[in-house]
Structure 1
């Protein structure tokens, strides 16, 4: 396992949570071991399962762990924006975002940071050579592939994987984005942030990884979320015209 050294750019790892207490209790310590120079921000949407309390316990023992507690569940996109703005305001150089359910293997992070040397956004990709997915039904495969095809067609984005959350960003590029223009509060945020990044001149690179479906808890995505995401992406496409 690669470990980041203390000379790496000032890095913040963001985790957006809703009912992820069991996962966060093991993921945060694993990230601290893997990335001892990085700091971790958990953005929690007032989870009823005690996620915030678990983070407070971790933060009390480790000054590199932080909690941003929001008052209600307001969507993955809104939570991610809140985490990015928190990091930008505090002067971090690199922001890494990943899911809090262990579906994004933490040991991919060093490869993302290495790839960021020659790019502005490093995308952990399921859909390039060497990438893959474990544990999905054919329905989820179909939906994910379909959303990515649809996004690339309508928004003219070049990455093969536009819908995954596992990415590293240069903060100086994120600073150039007008966050007031972000329309996607839910899962279409992943596509929209790439669209906004391209608009400020970001260079993209994809790093292959294998997505492993969560073992604890339930996925928050459903057909209604997919339909809303497709609508948000279509609205962005009309914005281009």
Structure 2
């Protein structure tokens, strides 16, 4: 499991311990973006006593997507067949990871979803829930996908999935990264499954999500959707050569 961190000293040991207890066979890679609060040093100490825990130190805060890309590259190079992602703040409960592992048996990407039947959120104000639900509905309509929680960050990928979607071409660095990878997976004709999870709002530390971040994500998604629809329109308007010309070719 790849866990990106920036200033998560209050949470990182707690969430890694929970993950190791819930799934002892799962390895953990913490990707720390040079946290000034000592998060990276905490993980270094964990790694010294547990061979299943690893840490990748980055020198600067480069964004969620950039941290995940670095972690995915590390895991692919290390030969892992299943690569996952989750938050460091406890919002994704390691005790529910088994749901995703079970679903991966007949899927290429599994998403722990808040917005499918059985999914839920805890301790969210109604404004944030409305923003998330509305944003995901907007993604569905604009990009023409059926995934209910395309912005979710609790996921499992098959190795082949990450290889097919060409990570070297991904330019998303912020929270829109999650939607980007869902769209790429579906575009390749791969199987995406959603399983319900209970998402719990962090109780320690500060959230990295803000209205400005959400707005920037919506702008990027709007650009993708408009380009996609324009491309389809141009394809539909292309003249079709007469059958005689096709035969001559």
1:12-27 alignment, distance < 5 Å: 13-27=1-15
Question: Quick check: 179-188 or 86-95, which moved more?
Answer: 179-188
In the aligned structure 2, how far is the partner of 1:96 from the partner of 1:64?
15
Equivalence for 1:94? 82
CA deviations 1:129-182 (Å, max 9, x no partner) are 111111111221121011101111111121111111001111111111222321
* Alpha-carbon distance in structure 1 between the residues aligned to 2:84 and 2:198: 17
For 1:162, which of 127, 147, 150 is the aligned residue?
150
- The residue that corresponds to 1:76 in the other structure is 64
Tell me, what secondary structure is at the counterpart of 1:233? helix
Deviation at 1:60, TM superposition (A): 0.5
Unaligned runs of 5+ in 1: 1-12
4+ runs of 1 displaced by more than 3 Å? Answer: none
Aligned residues: CA RMSD: 1.1
Q: Counterpart of 2:211?
A: 223
Is 1:141 matched up with 2:129?
Answer: yes
Equivalent residue number for residue 199 of structure 1: 187
8 Å Cα contact 1:183-1:232 kept in structure 2: no
Q: How does 1:101-140 map to 2 (within 5 A)?
A: 101-140=89-128
2:73 is aligned to 85
**Aligned residue in 2 for 1:52:** 40
The size of the alignment, in residue pairs, is 229
Larger radius of gyration: 2
Distance, in Å, in 1 between the alignment partners of 2:59 and 2:184 is: 27
Higher-helix-fraction structure: 2
Q: Which moved more, 1:231-240 or 1:72-81?
A: 231-240
Q: State the TM-score, normalized to the length of structure 1.
A: 0.92
Structure 2 gap ranges (5+):
232-249
Equivalent residue in structure 2 for 1:61, among 32, 46, 49? 49
| 1:189 Cα deviation after fit | 0.6
Give deviations 1:78-103, integer Å, cap 9, x for gaps: 11111111111111011111110001
Residues in 2 aligned to 1:47 and 1:87: alpha-carbon distance in whole angstroms: 21
Distance 1:71 1:235 in 2: 31
